[in-house]
Amino acid sequence: MKKHIALLRGDGIGPEIVDSAVEVLKAVAVKFGHEFTFTPYLIGGSAIDACGKPLPEETVEGCLAADSVLLGAVGGPKWDTLPGHLRPEKALLGIRSAMGLFTNLRPAKLYPALKEECPLRPDIVEKGFDIMIVRELTGGIYFGERGYREGKYGEEAYDTEAYSRMEIERIVRVAFETARKRRKKLTSIDKANVLETSRLWRKIVHEIAAEYPDVEVADMLVDNAAMQLVRNPAQFDTIVTSNMFGDILSDEASQITGSIGMLPSASLNDGTKGLYEPIHGSAPDIAGQNKANPIATILSAAMLLLYAFDMKAESDCIVNAVDKVLNAGLRTADLCRVGAPLTCTEMTQKVIENL
Ligand code: NAD
């Protein structure tokens, strides 16, 4: 197969980890007889430096024209004081919107080889966990009306959460389909005791549940869910939740896997076109030092092969190589407690050797 992938390296460790994933994809292409081509586009702070805006039109056009998109991360202290519309993070919301990426799949599983890195009690770790978080990505408070105004006590800022029936229905359906392919257990997380948007969300979840009698569904309030994730993560299979709750809970889930440097994600629209990225940020504290863990981005490339190109064997090949490397005790600095850690490029090489 011939496939074209747009690369959004971004800022901080973005270029290092995307280059790692590209090396792995090139090795997979050779092994399986595919032809992958890659075109880099500017995004985030590096785009602001080059052309004064975080998401240039050529980047959007390039992503829409490509077969799939691989993103590193954006942002950093250099751009933190810019006004909101010029912040690197604005580019993420822009590209998600332009590509219609309303679904964000964030798997969080505990690798047996990384049990020692899990910060939870040994009896909880022993049970393990394998969770798929389905997060709504183009609605809610991150996209709602916002602004500044003069309030009762002077200057005031506001952001608004709004969800339409259509937005909730489509993400909830994705979640039921996802749960159906897993352990058939769906937890819908909301704040229905306080928020109107959550009450609509909950009502629609129960309407759609009637179409999926084989999937067990339960509601959970977000504050309880934050607690349950560290108390008993094994109880979860598939989780569906709104944009902001999913953002926060998936970072919590990442930390109990051992390192945020391990977790990939897929952002999908209603076709096969998607954008694949690690869930972590640009890690400015370790940028340019060859210390980053490339595994989250390498596993994002594995998700890309599976979801965008329907290449299951190729995707499994990467996932198995990562398993082998971890089982052999090889670690980057974020996961290494004894011995010398591997650099980002050394870890990449080890994954390639194990494909
Ligand atoms: P971060 O995820 O970049 O870093 C948090 C901590 O985790 C840091 O100590 C970092 O060194 C470490 N870390 C992250 N990824 C790692 C990896 N692959 N290997 C080893 N260690 C890793 O979060 P932050 O510090 O809150 O944010 C830094 C910048 O990234 C900010 O500008 C933020 O806005 C941006 N950000 C971007 C995205 C994105 O592009 N999708 C997501 C989150 C944050």
Pocket of ligand 1 contains residue 43 by CB under 6 Å: no
Q: Are residues 133 and 233 in the same domain?
A: yes
In 3-state terms, what secondary structure has residue 131? strand
The pLDDT value recorded for residue 86 is 86
Q: Calculate how far, in angstroms, residue 286's C-alpha sits from the geometric centre of ligand 1.
A: 9
Pocket of ligand 1 contains residue 40 by CB under 6 Å: no
Q: Which of 280, 295, 343 to mutate to test the pocket of ligand 1 (most atoms within 8 A of CB)?
A: 280
Pocket of ligand 1 contains residue 280 by CB under 6 Å: yes
Distance CA 95, CA 11 (A): 16
The total domain count for the chain is 2
| pLDDT tens profile 127-171 | 999 999 999 999 999 999 999 999 999 999 999 999 999 999 999
Domain end, chosen from 256, 279, 299, is at 256
135 in any annotated domain? yes
27 in any annotated domain? yes
Q: Calculate how far, in angstroms, residue 344's C-alpha sits from the geometric centre of ligand 1.
A: 15
Annotated active-site residue 223? The verdict is: yes
Q: Are residues 203 and 287 in the same domain?
A: no
pTM: 0.90
Q: Are residues 162 and 251 in the same domain?
A: yes
Q: Are residues 97 and 143 in the same domain?
A: no
Domain end, chosen from 190, 224, 256, is at 256
Annotated active-site residue 276? The verdict is: no
92 in any annotated domain? yes
Distances in Å between the alpha carbon of 165 and those of 60, 142, 170, 316?
28, 17, 9, 36
Distance CA 126, CA 124 (A): 5
The three-point CA angle 30-345-36 to 5° equals 25
301 in any annotated domain? yes
* Structure tokens that stand for 99 in this block: 């590509």
Task: Give the position, in ligand 1's atom list, of the atom nearest the Cα of 72.
Answer: 40
Q: What is the CATH number of the domain that holds 301?
A: 3.40.718.10
112 in any annotated domain? no
Q: Are residues 217 and 97 in the same domain?
A: no
Pocket of ligand 1 contains residue 282 by CB under 6 Å: yes
Q: Is 226 exposed, middle or buried (0-12, 13-18, 19+ CB in 10 A)?
A: middle
Q: Are residues 241 and 163 in the same domain?
A: yes
| CA-nearest residue, atom 22 of ligand 1 | 261
Annotated active-site residue 191? The verdict is: yes
Q: Are residues 231 and 269 in the same domain?
A: no
Q: Are residues 265 and 318 in the same domain?
A: yes
Q: Are residues 125 and 222 in the same domain?
A: yes
Domain end, chosen from 227, 256, 285, is at 256
In 3-state terms, what secondary structure has residue 37? strand
Q: Are residues 237 and 123 in the same domain?
A: yes
Task: Give the position, in ligand 1's atom list, of the atom nearest the Cα of 76.
Answer: 32
Distance CA 36, CA 25 (A): 8
| pLDDT tens profile 10-34 | 999 999 999 999 999 999 999 999 9
108 in any annotated domain? no
Q: Are residues 135 and 55 in the same domain?
A: no
53 in any annotated domain? yes
DSSP structure class, residue 202: H
The pLDDT value recorded for residue 338 is 82
The three-point CA angle 172-302-124 to 5° equals 65
Among candidate residues 41, 111, 142, 276, the one labeled active-site is: 142
Q: Using an 8 Å Cβ cutoff, are 274 and 159 in contact?
A: no
The pLDDT value recorded for residue 117 is 86
Type of residue numbered 245: F
Q: Are residues 265 and 219 in the same domain?
A: no
Annotated active-site residue 251? The verdict is: yes
Instruction: Name the residue range of residue 159's domain.
Output: 119-256
Among candidate residues 191, 237, 276, 307, the one labeled active-site is: 191
Pocket of ligand 1 contains residue 90 by CB under 6 Å: no
The pLDDT value recorded for residue 230 is 96
Q: Calculate how far, in angstroms, residue 282's C-alpha sits from the geometric centre of ligand 1.
A: 4
Distance CA 235, CA 189 (A): 14
In which residue are the tokens 């009637």 written? 210
- Cite the DSSP H helix spans in the chain: 14-32, 45-51, 57-65, 88-98, 122-127, 165-180, 196-209, 222-231, 243-256, 295-307, 312-327, 344-353
Pocket of ligand 1 contains residue 298 by CB under 6 Å: no
Distance CA 17, CA 98 (A): 24
248 in any annotated domain? yes
Distance CA 165, CA 204 (A): 8
Q: Give me the residues of the chain with pLDDT under 50, please.
A: none
